[in-house]
Amino acid sequence: MLDGMDPRPVGMFDSGVGGLSVFREFRRLAPRERTVYFADTAYFPYGPRDPGEVRKRAFAIAHRLVDAGAKLIVVACNTASAAAVADLRQLFEVPFVGMVPAVKPAARASRSGRVAILATPGTFDGDLYSSVVDEFGKDAAIDRVVGHDLAELVELGDVDTPAAREAVRAALAGPVANGADIVVLGCTHYEFLAPAINAEFPGVSVLGTGEPVARRACALLAELDLEAPPDAEGALDLIVSGNREAFLQTLPKLGFAPREAAEAQS
């Protein structure tokens, strides 16, 4: 295998479709890379689960992705990153890229000095979130907003509907009325709700982490000479732990082409 020419796939996982918001950006930036995406729908959602259970799932999935030949693994889930990414890096030899809410750029960009962070209980309760807020969020008033049932809507592909608009309105009306001018999406599922949030609150900026995380993965591949060969053709392989057909039926609703939805493993 020549330097800078590694045909092995990139691994990526989440409890469901949410991490595909990261894959979408990664595919745009690295179209030659093959991705093996593990959707742990049998344990969806991770957000309200005990951190120990999430950590156990993260280790099991990482083993599966390493067995599939993954040269780098993206933990495309804020809850799993909070619960497990530090330990994953210690146990496995492959590099890991994790998620953290975009507190730093939000605090810098806010005109009002008030930021709403929309995330799951598992993300808010983790040390990773606390450390980021302590380091980068001191100059902003932060409203923590738990996104009740939002991930469930996205998992069904219900992202551009009256129900989705009503749900984001109920979650964010209070913080926006209190002056929050930036909403940070602290769950990869929520990135698919960005259009609904923009429609409901047109004066509010929405910050996700899909693109920054994808850029970090690309930079790490280049840095470690792990990029795919120039003539490689990117592909998406899916592993679904729960109902595979239900998962595949959701993908077109989120903007993924049928040919992508067809490429799946059990």
Active site residue 218: no
Six token digits for residue 33? 């890379």
Report the chain's terminal Cα–Cα distance, integer Å.
Answer: 29
Omega cis (within 30) before 195 = no
Beta bridge partners of 265: 239
C-alpha dist (Å) from residue 43 to 181, 241, 243: 34, 8, 11
C-alpha dist (Å) from residue 115 to 122, 173, 191, 206: 19, 13, 17, 10
From the list 84, 103, 187, 251, the catalytic residue is 187
CA distance 76 to 20: 8
CA distance 81 to 65: 16
From the list 20, 76, 77, 194, the catalytic residue is 77
Q: Say if residues 10 and 65 touch (Cβ distance below 8 Å).
A: no
Q: Which residues are catalytic?
A: 77, 187
